[in-house]
Amino acid sequence: MKVTVTVNGGQVAAEVPDRTLLVHFLRDVAGLTATNVGCDTSSCGACTVLLDGRSVKSCTLLAAQADGSAVVTLEGLANGSGELHPVQQAFRAEHGLQCGFCTPGMVMAVVSLLEENPDPSEAEVRTALEGNLCRCTGYHNIVRAVLAAASERRPS
């Protein structure tokens, strides 16, 4: 079927098999490979993207379900001038990533979290990230990065 999705601000349209998952549409059709597949049970969150502003696991949606919607992936987060998004900056400053595989999904989940809750407590951050698995960092620096990014965004 024909699927049209606005990806990172640009329109991507293609004829794809009905069963095509959104994550494969993004990776193979739109050519955006930051979004990773880390499991087959919707457990790990490596494939998290924003769909019309809300975080979703793109391995758990058909591309067809995103038809007509807007998707933002990690590649669409920094602004055009190459300046990192505050969440990206915080992940770097706090060493919130190691191997980088969970990072695209983790960063998008955090962007979504801070939209919903701009000033989360540590406990709220930890609960909110329960659906995003990381095997390298022990989450310690990811949590610090989220709190730092929240603090950065907060009007002084």
Binding site for another protein (CB under 8 A): 17, 19-20, 27, 33-41, 43-44, 46, 74-75, 77-78, 82, 84, 88, 91-93, 95, 97-104, 107, 122, 125-127, 129-144
CB of 103 to another protein, least distance (A): 6
CB of 106 to another protein, least distance (A): 10
Compute how many other C-beta atoms are within 10 angstroms of the C-beta atom of residue 84: 14
CB of 156 to another protein, least distance (A): 23
Residue nearer to another protein on the CB measure, 46 or 56 = 46
Contact 51, 34 (CB under 8 A): no
147: Cα separation from own chain's centroid: 17
- Edge-to-edge strand order for the sheet containing 70-72? 10-15, 2-7, 70-72, 48-51, 54-57
Question: Rounded distance, CA 53 to CA 51, Å?
Answer: 5
Question: How many degrees, rounded to 5, is the angle at CA 104 between CA 53 and CA 62?
Answer: 60
CB of 124 to another protein, least distance (A): 10
Question: Rounded distance, CA 68 to CA 136, Å?
Answer: 36
